[in-house]
């Protein structure tokens, strides 16, 4: 491909050389550069890609894409200068892989909570009507029934476009992807033509990165400015903002607020959630296998998007009912003692409040909450989550999540500051395995243990190592022979 074709749609200046040259490939990691390729210099949080120009040239880079004029580059290497290389990388990636999102339905789901569950509810519906669905998300990337490993919610733009091309070559008709605020702000999804965007909710998270809730909201809003159609939860305070920033047709959803697609007569039990879905003046009974009011919103978001895609409402209802639930999202296991454990990914104040309120809907004894907060992340939410745990649980065990480079004891103390504002009894146990075992020791007939924060994750990150750790495995082991 000619360099100028790769850079089509990008505003740039040629510092030296020519954009008419042929390029074999392009890379933003200098270690992967090969002969006759383009090296894109990304300015990151830890390092600056411009520092690696000598290595890229030595490995055979024929051209460089920079954010400022650079000196000392050999004359036979073309130098292109543009304003934002992350944005340029996204456009170049789409150009290189032939804009695969234009050949499939691309549905983006954004919001603080509910993204994963919404994508899998959509998959259930679309599977039912014979579509082949691609998933891009937190738990996994998936092509039909084939699972691909994933490392972050939204891959970098080059890997994302390559994945979309692979999906198209394997006959995927619809791609449903989680779209994080980071990916929007860092231009990873700039090269995608979204047919539909879904807004779940907006609550405190990622303030270590965005600094303010306004910045966080604005980042989420970018998705609706580019999607052809939108599905928006109007019960959420940020719903009106997303609606105002939507460029195309909007289908609204709600329970408390009048909307195009609504839910009434919600009934929550340990077995799941039942409600009536109201669409165009008619009621359709729905049963979900996941308990919780939040599950209703996830279902309405998925249903709304599928209705916009032309799926019959009867197939939408059947697809929702057929969904078995998602790993690490209110996933339950029972003990012969008559107690129940719930593992959930809730790692934000709103997420923790939702799952504790849901558990309180059906707990017959006491509710024991096991949770903590991740290291190297927004510290301000720690006491907030502690206070929520103390107000809604009967007993709290504060423990480690992913400490990363922080002192685990210090993280627990931050959470403890919030619990102290309540009269809830609690204890601190740094070791997560021991904390889960302690919760099982305390639990009796009718009690519910909520283990929150890690959900589907099968690892725990410490300053010097990452170990295998699975909350569901651990609670099953703690139940021992009593596990059902």
DSSP for 72-83, written as a single string: S--TTSEEEEES
d(CA 149, CA 139): 8
What are the beta bridge partners of residue 287? 274
Give the strand pairing for 196-199 and 105-110: parallel
pLDDT the model gives residue 140? 86
Give the CA distances from residue 248 to residues 60, 76, 115, 196, 298, in Å, rounded to whole numbers and listed in that order.
Answer: 45, 47, 21, 9, 21
pLDDT the model gives residue 269? 87
DSSP 288-336: ESS-SHHHHHHHHHHHHHHHHTT--HHHHHHHHHH----TTSSEEEEBT
Q: Which of 172, 220, 174 is nearest to 195 (CA)?
A: 174
Give the strand pairing for 63-66 and 38-40: parallel
Q: What are phi and psi of 250, to 5 degrees?
A: -120, 130
Q: Check: CB of residue 371 under 8 Å from CB of residue 398.
A: yes
Q: How many CB atoms within 10 Å of residue 40?
A: 28
Identify the helix (H) or strand (E) that includes residue 433.
helix 432-442
User: Which position has the token pair 């289908």?
Assistant: 251
Report the chain's terminal Cα–Cα distance, integer Å: 58
Q: Check: CB of residue 27 under 8 Å from CB of residue 157.
A: no
pLDDT the model gives residue 60? 96
d(CA 296, CA 274): 9
381-392 vs 408-419: helix crossing angle, rounded to 10: 50
d(CA 321, CA 364): 26
Kindly compute the dihedral angle of the four CA atoms of residues 401, 402, 406, 412, in this order, to the nearest 10 degrees.
Answer: 0
User: Which position has the token pair 């042929």?
Assistant: 22
Give, as one character, the DSSP assignment of residue 404: T
pLDDT the model gives residue 151? 63
Q: How many CB atoms within 10 Å of residue 3?
A: 23
SS3 content of the chain, % helix, strand, coil (to 5): 35, 25, 40
> Which residues neighbour 314 within 8 Å (Cβ) at sequence distance 6 or greater?
284
pLDDT the model gives residue 359? 94
* pTM of the predicted structure, to 2 decimals: 0.86
pLDDT in tens, the chain (484 residues): 999 999 999 999 999 999 999 999 999 999 999 999 999 999 877 789 999 999 999 999 999 999 999 999 999 999 999 999 999 999 999 999 999 999 999 999 999 888 999 999 999 999 999 999 999 987 889 999 999 876 655 678 999 999 999 999 999 999 999 998 888 989 999 999 999 999 999 986 666 666 788 888 998 999 999 999 999 999 999 999 999 999 999 999 999 999 999 999 999 988 899 999 999 999 999 999 999 999 999 999 999 999 999 999 999 999 999 998 888 889 999 999 999 999 999 999 989 999 999 999 899 999 999 999 999 999 999 999 999 999 999 999 999 999 999 999 999 999 999 999 999 999 999 999 999 999 999 999 999 999 999 999 999 999 999 999 999 999 999 999 999 9
DSSP 175-236: EEEE--HHHHHTTTTTT---SEEEE----S--HHHH-SHHHHHHHHHHHHHH-SEEEEETTS
d(CA 389, CA 10): 49
Q: Check: CB of residue 57 under 8 Å from CB of residue 77.
A: yes
* Token representation of residue 275: 């409600």
Identify the helix (H) or strand (E) that includes residue 265.
strand 261-269
d(CA 302, CA 277): 12
349-362 vs 381-392: helix crossing angle, rounded to 10: 10
Q: Which of 120, 22, 28 is nearest to 67 (CA)?
A: 28
d(CA 189, CA 88): 11
Q: Check: CB of residue 12 under 8 Å from CB of residue 69.
A: no
d(CA 116, CA 135): 10
């Amino acid at each position: 491909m000619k360099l100028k074709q790769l850079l089509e749609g990008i505003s740039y200046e040629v510092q030296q050389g020519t954009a008419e040259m042929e390029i074999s490939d392009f890379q933003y990691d200098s270690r992967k550069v090969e002969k006759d390729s383009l090296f894109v210099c990304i300015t990151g949080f830890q390092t600056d890609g411009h520092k690696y120009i000598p290595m890229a040239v030595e490995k055979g880079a024929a051209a460089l894409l920079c954010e400022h004029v650079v000196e000392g580059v050999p004359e036979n290497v073309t130098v292109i200068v543009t304003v934002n290389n992350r944005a340029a990388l996204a456009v170049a990636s789409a150009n290189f892989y032939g804009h695969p999102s234009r050949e499939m339905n691309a549905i983006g789901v954004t919001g603080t909570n509910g993204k994963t569950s919404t994508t899998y509810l959509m998959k259930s519906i679309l599977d039912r009507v014979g579509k082949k669905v691609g998933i891009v998300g937190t738990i996994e990337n998936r092509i039909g029934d084939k699972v691909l490993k994933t490392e972050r919610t939204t891959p970098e733009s080059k890997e994302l476009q390559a994945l979309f091309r692979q999906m198209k070559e394997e006959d995927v008709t619809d791609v449903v992807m989680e779209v994080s605020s980071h990916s929007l702000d860092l231009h990873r999804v700039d090269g995608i033509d979204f047919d539909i965007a879904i807004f779940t909710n907006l609550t405190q998270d990622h303030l270590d990165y965005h600094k303010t809730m306004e910045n966080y909201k604005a980042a989420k809003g970018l998705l609706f400015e580019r999607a052809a159609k939108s599905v928006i939860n109007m019960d959420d305070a940020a719903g009106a903002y997303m609606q105002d920033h939507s460029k195309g047709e909007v289908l609204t959803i709600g329970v408390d607020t009048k909307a195009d697609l609504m839910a009434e007569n919600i009934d929550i039990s340990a077995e799941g959630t039942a409600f009536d879905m109201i669409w165009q003046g008619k009621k359709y009974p729905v049963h979900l296998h996941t308990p919780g009011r939040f599950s209703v919103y996830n279902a309405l978001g998925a249903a709304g998007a599928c209705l916009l895609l032309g799926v019959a409402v009867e197939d939408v209802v059947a697809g929702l009912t057929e969904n078995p639930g998602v790993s690490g999202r209110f996933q339950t296991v029972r003990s012969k003692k008559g107690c129940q454990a719930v593992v959930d990914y809730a790692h934000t104040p709103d997420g923790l409040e939702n799952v504790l309120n849901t558990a309180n809907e059906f707990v017959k004894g006491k509710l024991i909450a096991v949770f903590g907060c991740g290291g190297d992340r927004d510290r301000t939410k720690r006491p907030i989550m502690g206070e929520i745990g103390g107000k809604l649980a009967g007993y709290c065990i504060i423990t480690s999540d992913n400490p990363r480079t922080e002192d685990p004891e210090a993280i627990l103390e931050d959470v403890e500051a919030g619990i102290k504002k309540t009269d809830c009894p609690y204890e601190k146990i740094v070791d997560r395995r021991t904390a889960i075992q302690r919760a099982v020791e305390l639990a009796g007939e009718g009690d519910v243990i909520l283990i929150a924060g890690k959900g589907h994750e099968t690892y725990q990150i410490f300053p010097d190592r990452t170990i295998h750790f699975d909350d569901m495995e651990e609670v099953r082991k703690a139940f021992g022979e009593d596990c059902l």
